[in-house]
Chain A
Amino acid sequence: MGLFNKRTVMRRYFSVFFCLLPFAAGGQVVVDKPLSARLTGYDINVVLDPEEHTLSGQMTAFWVNHSSAPVSEAMMHMYLNAFSSNKSTFNAKGRWSAAGDNGWGWVKVNSVDDGNGNNLLDSLRYVSPDDGNINDRTVMRVGLPGAVEPGDTLTLNIGFVSKLPSPIVRTGYVDDFHFVAQWFPKFGVYETAGMRQRETDGWNCHQFHPNSEFYSNHSVYNVSVTLPTDFVTGSGGMLIEEIDLGEGLKKVVWRAEDIVDFAWTAWPGYKVLTRKWNNVDVTLLTSAAGLKKADNQFKAVMYALDYLGEKVGPYPWPHLTFVDPPVSGAGAGGMEYTTLFTSMGGGVVPSFLKMAEMVTIHEFGHAYFMGILASNEFEEPWVDEGINSYWEQRIVDHYYGDGYGLLNLPFLKMSDADQGRLSYITSPGHNIATNDLPSWMYPHNTYSTMSYSKAATWLHTLEGIIGTKTMDNVFREYYRRWAFRHPSGKDFIAVVDDVVRREHGNKYGENMNWFFDQVLYGSGICDYRLTGITSNKIRSYSGVVEGDSVTYTRSDRSSDTLYLSRVSIERLGEVKLPVDVLIRFDNGDEILEKWDGIAGYRDFEYTGTGKVIWAKIDPYDKIDMDVNRINNSYTLEQNFTATRRMMNKFVLLMQMMISIFTL
């Protein structure tokens, strides 16, 4: 690094330090030391009007120019405007409609200045970098009177009013239930050249889309909300104080550090429960109906805390709040805001189905995959949702149901990993697009199939190939390198390459591109088939050689009969992955073959005293990507006991139905 760069970096650090002073006046409140660079921060003071469902107030926001060039504009999320009309990008395809005239949601800036007396209100413009939709007002450009020099800080004082939408989709209100997310003007991410493989500096600030909404800096939040005293509240911050203002009002003050978004909720009907996990206060806000499932919900969170803490890295905050919304507010369920997340259905889902636990674990997992490892959900949703789904499946299947995490009844079973795989392999569009498209570019409604299910499925496949231990080390290294930064998919792949090379040398080649090129950047499917097995007796020599008739007598033969056995396998899909083939002979011998899976077919031949009785491709179910496992095996001794038993039970069930439902 040259002298100039050193100076620049030093100046930047000093600037950041001084700029942070006003926000860190109370010292480190939540964590012992800053976890991130804290390039942005927000002091917000609002009043909730529960009748009009509005939030009005002031905020002071700062952004530090950490690049090496002056910046003359700022870009901000104005995501509540996604609900301001039916022509917004979010709503253009009829995804949501307002519940009456008071159902629309919006955020309006009343005043804005840069702290030096410069009124910037006239410089505000709405832009639509993703689709050019002139009716979309979810990204705001703030023109600055002068450029922000490298290392300097931009401070904006903004007066704003936010109106929550109804019905709730992620954010909004129903009656007196309020879930407040994406509610204030928030800076986009200013990316420097090289960051996430970017070629030039610039703002990364996407519109609010139906399928993605997260990419922000790790920030410090000081948030004060004034609201009626009967409202029970919770947020992604640590509660600093609750002040009784008289006249039925109170002020709630929270502080959050190093999180990418700040959301909160208020509802008079909440029941609040708190448990301790190590040094973390875990708080659940639930409805009366959800109380009976509270223990299950806490258990799920703590399983996830244990598992991810051990396999990936520590959960660094001393607080965590999660919400099981009432049925009327179910639209807020299944969302993630790092130190605040929402589950769903705790009160209504039967306990044998671990759906609520699955959602709880998934949404908590986002504290890691999106929160700590703050990838860009808009551009690479698989890095967020796919990786998180993979870990959710591992956790659910580890802790529940002896491997059948979602459902483990005597007659019906399902693992969470299979649920994801099922969603991928049964989707009609599972092979029409690659896995690396931006969230709003997936064709044929394949977003969730590709971002969640396919990515989780190929991550399980990667684990099957490189081993669970190596996979865990990949994520530990990913966390070590990229915690509280903004990794891209390629950064994750680089970690995989490094860890695999470190642990396995060149066993899998120079790098793992052969894998990622197929499963991530390719759209092909993986399907291997065991075509058949044959075993033919090797006959004694009998025939004519050079005019003489030659016949061996029985005594010339070996006492054991020899067989030539053949196992034939094919690759039906485009994806070429190394597979194991387990072959069993009738004398008890077993052979485990390895095949690179590249050619279109392969025959394994054996000469010996045993006949092949069965063979299995991928006997240990490592290759989850294989879209059809029924054709992975072949046996000459088929046993239909299972279907006979199943049919016996079906017959009884039908007989019982007939006898019970007639008088």
Chain B
Amino acid sequence: MSLFKTLKKGAVNAASSYKLILFIWCTTLVITLAVAYPLKTSFNMIFGNSMAIGRLSDGFDIGIAGDIGRPFGALIASVSAASLLLGTVGFFIMTFYAGGLFRRFTLAWGRLRVSDFLRASAGNFIPFLKIALLMMLIIGAYTFALIGLPVIINMAISGSQMPTGKIMYLFFALWALGLPVWLFVSDASRRWIAATGSKKVFRALGAGFRALRERFWLSYLTVLAVLVINAMFIALLLWFAASAIPDRGIMVFLFFVAIQSLFIIRLFMKAWRYAAVCESVQ
């Protein structure tokens, strides 16, 4: 199968799973709102009837922190703790849903009801969690080898100087080019578990590496292409979200709709990677 066909079929499969993607989106929205809403209420209570709230209108003016006083420290601590908690819970939830999505993309008839999706997610959760943790460990070591070590060596050679630009750009480029390999192995391993129903993690990883070796360029380029498009999309999304400053109620609502729509597309693009890898292996 050609690269283009793989990507196209992957995209069609991901798009046809829109209900599942919307379900995942709903979950992320609910858990983040559970943190964000009390935070917003806290801010509103702090400002009360004060017009100083205007200092948040063009980005967060750190100068206001002193005026807020001690509650600001408490707010920052809450935000930090909430972010950590959200990150952890989010990791488990996304790993959980990946089980259902991979199941969906390995089915020949291409349909999966939400209840089946949840059942498949639950069934695949433990092996998927193990694969996720193992692959994150591998990617962490890979990152340390290609970025951490050069930084340390560079600092040692140059007398504690921070590394200069060009060489680090080179190492970063090498790191980015190698990343699709690990992501492919991770996805292909999970696809193997979803397709076979086996819980054997190391056999799954072996299958992932085998799939990579058998069709290296198709596998590699599939993930690389999806990753590049994802990265550009994420950069655009974050730029838009950071720089947009809607200043009226309805505009703020439309802004919310816009960024959430874009986030749904981001979820779709992640599912696209899963689906494309599944296609490339079949």
Q: How many residues of A sit at the interface, in one of the four size bands?
A: 35 or more
Residue of B nearest to A417 (CB): B63
Residue of A nearest to B230 (CB): A660
Contact A630 B68 (CB under 8 A): yes
CB distance from B274 to the nearest CB of A (A): 10
Q: Contact mask A319-357 → B, CB, 8 Å, 1/0? A: 000000011100000000000000000011000000000
CB distance from A351 to the nearest CB of B (A): 12
Contact A422 B86 (CB under 8 A): no
Is B80 an interface position by the 8 A CB rule?
no
Contact A639 B98 (CB under 8 A): no
A659 to B162, CA, bound (A): 31
Contact B60 A413 (CB under 8 A): yes
Given the interface pairs A629-B52, A630-B46, A630-B68, the reply to whether A641 lies near B234 with Cβ below 8 Å is no
Contact A654 B32 (CB under 8 A): yes
Q: Contact mask A622-663 → B, CB, 8 Å, 1/0? A: 000001111111111011111111111111111111111111
Q: Which of B106-114, B194-202, B252-260 contacts A (4 or more CB under 8 A)?
A: B252-260
Residue of A nearest to B259 (CB): A652
Q: Residues of A contacting B91 with CB < 8 Å?
A: 658, 661-662
Is A292 an interface position by the 8 A CB rule?
yes
Given the interface pairs A269-B159, A651-B29, the reply to whether A661 lies near B87 with Cβ below 8 Å is yes
Given the interface pairs A407-B62, A646-B43, A662-B91, the reply to whether A327 lies near B242 with Cβ below 8 Å is no
- Which 3 pairs across A and B sit closest by C-beta, in order of nearness? A418-B63, A658-B90, A642-B56
Contact B66 A632 (CB under 8 A): no
Is A412 an interface position by the 8 A CB rule?
yes
Residue of A nearest to B42 (CB): A643
A655 to B160, CA, bound (A): 37
Q: Residues of A contacting B68 with CB < 8 Å?
A: 630
Is A289 an interface position by the 8 A CB rule?
yes
Q: Residues of B contacting A415 with CB < 8 Å?
A: 63
A327 to B263, CA, bound (A): 41
Is B136 an interface position by the 8 A CB rule?
yes
CB distance from A626 to the nearest CB of B (A): 9
Contact B62 A412 (CB under 8 A): yes
Is A147 an interface position by the 8 A CB rule?
no
Is B51 an interface position by the 8 A CB rule?
yes
Is A409 an interface position by the 8 A CB rule?
yes
A370 to B260, CA, bound (A): 56
Residue of A nearest to B40 (CB): A647
Q: Contact mask B62-85 → A, CB, 8 Å, 1/0? A: 111111110000000000000100
Q: How many residues of B sit at the interface, in one of the four size bands?
A: 35 or more
Contact B28 A630 (CB under 8 A): no
Choose one: B36, B49, B162, B256; the contact of A635 (CB below 8 Å).
B49
Q: Residues of B contacting A327 with CB < 8 Å?
A: 160-162
- Count of CB-CB pairs between chains A and B under 8 Å: 206
Residue of B nearest to A347 (CB): B162
Choose one: B131, B234, B242, B252; the contact of A411 (CB below 8 Å).
B242
Q: Residues of A contacting B237 with CB < 8 Å?
A: 652, 656
Given the interface pairs A645-B245, A654-B83, the reply to whether A663 lies near B136 with Cβ below 8 Å is yes
Q: Residues of A contacting B54 with CB < 8 Å?
A: 642
Choose one: A287, A630, A632, A650; the contact of B161 (CB below 8 Å).
A287
Contact B49 A347 (CB under 8 A): no
Given the interface pairs A287-B161, A326-B160, A656-B263, the reply to whether A641 lies near B29 with Cβ below 8 Å is no
CB distance from B230 to the nearest CB of A (A): 9
Choose one: A413, A425, A650, A655; the contact of B29 (CB below 8 Å).
A655
Residue of A nearest to B93 (CB): A658
Contact A658 B28 (CB under 8 A): yes
Can you name 18 A-B residue pairings with CB atoms under 8 Å? A409-B59, A419-B63, A421-B63, A630-B50, A633-B50, A642-B54, A642-B57, A643-B53, A644-B252, A651-B33, A652-B241, A652-B263, A653-B241, A656-B237, A659-B28, A661-B87, A662-B94, A662-B95
The A-contacting residues of B in range 147-181, CB under 8 angstroms, are 158-162, 164-165
CB distance from B105 to the nearest CB of A (A): 15
Is A426 an interface position by the 8 A CB rule?
yes
Is A414 an interface position by the 8 A CB rule?
yes
Is A390 an interface position by the 8 A CB rule?
no
Residue of A nearest to B57 (CB): A642
Q: Residues of B contacting A628 with CB < 8 Å?
A: 67, 69
A415 to B53, CA, bound (A): 17
Q: Residues of B contacting A636 with CB < 8 Å?
A: 49
Contact B60 A411 (CB under 8 A): yes
A269 to B160, CA, bound (A): 12
CB distance from B196 to the nearest CB of A (A): 19
A662 to B243, CA, bound (A): 26
Contact B63 A646 (CB under 8 A): no
Contact B186 A663 (CB under 8 A): yes
CB distance from A491 to the nearest CB of B (A): 32
Is B238 an interface position by the 8 A CB rule?
yes
Contact B61 A654 (CB under 8 A): no
Is B267 an interface position by the 8 A CB rule?
yes
Residue of B nearest to A415 (CB): B63
CB distance from B269 to the nearest CB of A (A): 9
Binding site for A on B (CB under 8 A): 28-29, 32-33, 35-37, 39-40, 43-44, 46-54, 56-69, 83, 86-87, 90-91, 93-95, 98, 131-132, 135-136, 158-162, 164-165, 183, 186-187, 234, 237-238, 241-243, 245-249, 252, 255-256, 259-260, 263, 266-267, 270
Q: Residues of B contacting A650 with CB < 8 Å?
A: 32, 36, 39
Choose one: B94, B164, B245; the contact of A659 (CB below 8 Å).
B94
CB distance from B166 to the nearest CB of A (A): 11
CB distance from A269 to the nearest CB of B (A): 7
Report which residue of A348, A632, A634, A653 has the largest number of chain B beta carbons within 10 angstroms of its beta carbon: A653
Is A410 an interface position by the 8 A CB rule?
yes
Contact B43 A347 (CB under 8 A): no
Is A460 an interface position by the 8 A CB rule?
no
Is A616 an interface position by the 8 A CB rule?
yes
Choose one: B32, B44, B242, B243; the contact of A655 (CB below 8 Å).
B32
Q: Residues of B contacting A639 with CB < 8 Å?
A: 53
Q: Residues of A contacting B255 with CB < 8 Å?
A: 645, 648
Contact A642 B53 (CB under 8 A): yes
Given the interface pairs A409-B59, A630-B46, the reply to whether A649 lies near B94 with Cβ below 8 Å is no
Contact B56 A643 (CB under 8 A): yes
Contact A655 B252 (CB under 8 A): no
Choose one: B35, B65, B243, B248; the contact of A410 (CB below 8 Å).
B243
CB distance from A151 to the nearest CB of B (A): 52
A580 to B143, CA, bound (A): 58
Given the interface pairs A641-B252, A659-B267, the reply to whether A632 lies near B43 with Cβ below 8 Å is no
Contact B242 A410 (CB under 8 A): yes
The B-contacting residues of A in range 282-316, CB under 8 angstroms, are 287-289, 292
Given contacts A422-B62, A657-B86, A657-B87, 13 further A-B contacts (CB under 8 A): A410-B242, A410-B245, A413-B61, A628-B67, A629-B67, A635-B49, A638-B47, A644-B249, A647-B36, A647-B40, A654-B90, A659-B90, A663-B136
Contact A656 B234 (CB under 8 A): yes
Given the interface pairs A642-B53, A645-B255, A661-B91, the reply to whether A412 lies near B59 with Cβ below 8 Å is yes
A645 to B54, CA, bound (A): 12
Given the interface pairs A288-B158, A347-B161, the reply to whether A638 lies near B69 with Cβ below 8 Å is no
Given the interface pairs A650-B36, A662-B90, the reply to whether A328 lies near B160 with Cβ below 8 Å is yes
Q: Residues of B contacting A348 with CB < 8 Å?
A: 162
Given the interface pairs A413-B58, A421-B66, the reply to whether A655 lies near B28 with Cβ below 8 Å is yes
A22 to B43, CA, bound (A): 70
Is A160 an interface position by the 8 A CB rule?
no
Choose one: B44, B59, B135, B160; the contact of A663 (CB below 8 Å).
B135
Residue of B nearest to A267 (CB): B159
Q: Residues of A contacting B43 with CB < 8 Å?
A: 643, 646-647
Is A175 an interface position by the 8 A CB rule?
yes
Is A515 an interface position by the 8 A CB rule?
no
Report which residue of B37, B40, B266 has the largest number of chain A beta carbons within 10 angstroms of its beta carbon: B40
Contact A414 B61 (CB under 8 A): yes
Is A391 an interface position by the 8 A CB rule?
no
CB distance from A234 to the nearest CB of B (A): 18
